Amino acid sequence: MRPRRSGVARLVALLLLVTAATFAAASLQLSLGTTQKPGPGVVPLVSAVFLGLAAVTALVGRRRADEGEPPAGAAARAVLVVAALVLVYPAALAWFGFSIATVALVWGAARALDLPARPAALLAVGAVGVSVLLFRVALDVPLPTGLVGF
């Protein structure tokens, strides 16, 4: 029996297929132009078709050795926590500013990676402190201060 594709591989192939269909539909709303002057819809449409074909091939093709299984147990929890942190982070950055949001991000990621609470806090405050000194103070990078102004 042919080995089933991993769940992640099927999910990614489906997402790519949806992306291809969305771009293809949107490209058709744009002008395709003429052979003398290709319109702004040509390259996106051709690329979307390529992406769609590749996604279909990935959906129906044989399983390959480089496809991994979703993590389980503690590894899955760690990945989910870090993924949730990085996805929520931009909103936190806009509201609370770089210092607070990034301390929370680093502390959370370090905890998810099994670092005890106190060393994780030290790492977070240290990394953010050095970054603020280096980038905001020394290099004048306007790191966002957020609504709380810090």
Q: How far is the CB of 60 from another protein (least distance, A)?
A: 10
Judged by beta carbon, residue 114 or residue 149, the one nearer another protein is 114
- Identify whether the C-beta of residue 68 lies closer than 8 Å to the C-beta of residue 7: no
Q: How far is the CB of 118 from another protein (least distance, A)?
A: 14
- Identify whether the C-beta of residue 70 lies closer than 8 Å to the C-beta of residue 76: yes
Judged by beta carbon, residue 4 or residue 77, the one nearer another protein is 77
Judged by beta carbon, residue 8 or residue 148, the one nearer another protein is 8
Q: How far is the CB of 94 from another protein (least distance, A)?
A: 5
Q: Which residues of 63-101 are buried (b: 16+ CB within 10 A; e: fewer)?
A: eeeeeeeeeeeeeeebeeebeebeeebeebbeebbbbbb
Can you tell me the distance from the alpha carbon of 26 to that of 48, in angstroms, rounded to the nearest whole number?
10
Can you tell me the distance from the alpha carbon of 103 to that of 55, in angstroms, rounded to the nearest whole number?
39
Judged by beta carbon, residue 34 or residue 137, the one nearer another protein is 34
Q: In terms of residues, how long is the chain?
A: 150
Q: How far is the CB of 105 from another protein (least distance, A)?
A: 6
